[in-house]
Amino acid sequence: MGGAPLTPQATTGACVAANYWDVGVRGDTGPGNHGSGVTLSASDSVLTAGSGVTGSGNSTSAPSFVSSYCDGSRTPPEAVAAGVVPAAAVGWQVPPGIADATVPNPIFNLTPSATVDEGNNWVNLNWGPLSMTNPAVAGGAYGNYGGGLALGNYAITAATSARVTGANFTDAPAYDFFNTPRKPGGSTDAGAVRFTSAGGSSEFTLSPSAVDFGLVPAHSPTTLDQDIQVINTGSAPLTFGNAVINCAGVATGCNVPSFSIQSNTCTGTTIGAGESCVINVVFNPVSTSQAQRNANLAVTLGGTTQTVALSGHDTIATITVSAITPALTANPANTAAVTGTITVTNTINPNTNPDAGPYLPTTITLTPLTATGTFALGGTCAVGTPINAGGTVVPPVPGSSCTITITYAPPVGATGAALNGRVNLLVTGYGTVSTNPIINTNFNAN
């Protein structure tokens, strides 16, 4: 504000005659002066005419507030001296304080502690009224002071001429100050509420608000489902509309086919206050290429839509298989058990390849091809245990390699050709470019 001194307020929140300057920058001297070198740009706001702010979607029309409220004295104008009726709250007044060097310092009270300046000047604090209503007005069911009309400019009696659209509409919360849906269309009212003829609390929550399926090896089947709860956190029953997967608001990498709704217990229901239903979502790896994939699960309930962010990354592995060491054959032939070790390594580098991921073994079997001797399978590789990317990183990433051992025990007392045996090792899994087994090899032993 600028110009002559303001007319004192006669009542709490009264809007006295004044010249209003809505927003400005330090260094400016008036609505039309931009000596700071900066001009603010507001959008979808209700502003005083000639406020010196540029932007789109603004309105200078009266916003039809239920009750206008203007800041003023922190002590209510209605406040009177103690003992005089009617008494009214005067806010919290902080008594003179003490220097922070003075001990003991009182704690957990409203006595300030500070250090005076070189001129021995002291600043006392006071604030108030700590109320959302006029403290001198009696009202409500019990006729208490402060029970009158709420002070504040958040309630409106008609739709505002400033309608929020576009990016600001996307950013606006799903519910207004009174927990009523504020976005059942392509626009809403500026401010804390949307004008509606019906009130009531019709709020719902999606939990969790984001689901990340993590790194999923290429060619993997559909993942295990993730449960998303739809909870009616309001006080009014809500009718379920629909649940769809889409790209609305997804900045990059949106791929709707990568996600699907496996089951939905919300369909066709009306969810009572405090009740919930469950939507199950799965991630479908794409075999043609590897990438981070994103989408939204959009759930509409009671005419309001909220979203859950979905993400998943189908990845690729590069597998190398070492020769068996030592070999299971010897000259002269083995007369005692011998164990050979094979090392399986995922060599792809996660530091240079953003799509690097694990290899997940699904089959590790050892099948004798002759009845000569016995073969036993061992090692650290296991079905369902991923072999992580990074076997060539120095030092290697933990779990980037594992071993498979084959132990051959020749027949007791056998000689010559009777010592010869043969076995097949088969290892299959998900994560490589090809769906072929990474090992399908016959090994001779004697």
Cis status, amide bond into 386, omega within 30 of 0: no
Distance CA 61, CA 162 (A): 8
Distance CA 256, CA 228 (A): 17
Q: pLDDT tens for the chain, 446 residues: list them.
A: 445 666 777 777 777 776 667 777 888 888 778 888 888 888 777 777 776 677 777 777 777 776 667 766 666 777 655 455 555 555 555 555 555 555 665 554 555 545 555 666 655 555 444 566 777 777 777 788 777 766 765 667 676 666 677 677 777 787 777 667 777 666 777 767 776 644 455 678 899 989 999 989 999 988 888 999 999 887 778 899 999 999 988 988 999 999 999 999 999 999 987 889 999 999 998 767 888 999 999 999 988 899 999 999 999 999 999 999 999 999 888 888 999 999 999 999 999 999 999 999 999 999 999 888 899 999 999 999 999 999 999 999 999 999 999 999 998 877 777 788 999 999 999 999 999 999 999 999 98
Distance CA 375, CA 422 (A): 9
SS3 letters across the chain: CCCCCCCCCCCCCCCCCCCCCCCCCECECECCECCCCCCCECCCCECCCCCCCECCCCECCCCCECCCCCCCCCCCCCCCCCCCCCCCCCCEECCCCEECCCCCCCCCCCCCEECCCCCCCCCCCEECCCCCECCCCEECCCCEECCCCECCCCCECCCCCCEECHHHHHHCCCECCCCCECCCCCCEECCCCCCCCCCCCCCEEEECCEEEEEEEECCCCCCCCEEEEEEECCCCCEEEEEEEEECCCCCCCECHHHEEEEEECCCCCEECCCCEEEEEEEECCCCCCCEEEEEEEEEEECCEEEEEEEEEEEEECCEEECCCECCCCCCCCCCCCEEEEEEEEECCCCCCCCCECCEEEEEEEEEECCCCCEEEEEECCCCCCCECCCCCCCCCCCCCEEEEEEEEECCCCCCHHHHCEEEEEEEEEECCCCCCCCEEEEEEEC
Place of tokens 């990059």: 252
**How far is the first Cα of the chain from the last one, in angstroms, to the nearest whole number?**
100
Task: For residue 209, give both structure tokens.
Answer: 């608000």
| The domains spanning 204-315 and 319-445 adopt the same CATH topology | yes
Distance CA 73, CA 90 (A): 10
CA dihedral sign, ordered 98, 101, 106, 109? positive
* φ and ψ at residue 170, rounded to 5 degrees: -65, -40
* φ and ψ at residue 171, rounded to 5 degrees: -75, -20
Q: Which residues of 217-231 are buried (b: 16+ CB within 10 A; e: fewer)?
A: bbbbeebebbebebb
Place of tokens 């979905």: 310
Q: Which amino acid, 278?
A: V
Domain ranges (residues) in the chain? 204-315, 319-445
CB atoms within 10 A of CB 29: 12
Domain 319-445 has CATH 2.60.40: yes
Of 3.40.50.10480, 2.60.40.10, 2.10.109.10, 1.10.260.40, the CATH number of 204-315 is 2.60.40.10
- If phi > 0 it is left, if psi is from -120 to 50 it is alpha, else beta; for residue 140 that is left
Is 238:305 a contact under the CB 8 Å cutoff?
no
pLDDT digits (tens, 9 = 90+) for 266-304: 999 999 878 899 999 999 987 678 889 999 999 999 888
pLDDT digits (tens, 9 = 90+) for 376-385: 999 999 999 9
Distance of CA 160 to CAs 59, 62, 67, 239, 252, Å?
8, 8, 15, 28, 35
pTM of whole model > 0.85?
A: no
Distance CA 367, CA 15 (A): 91
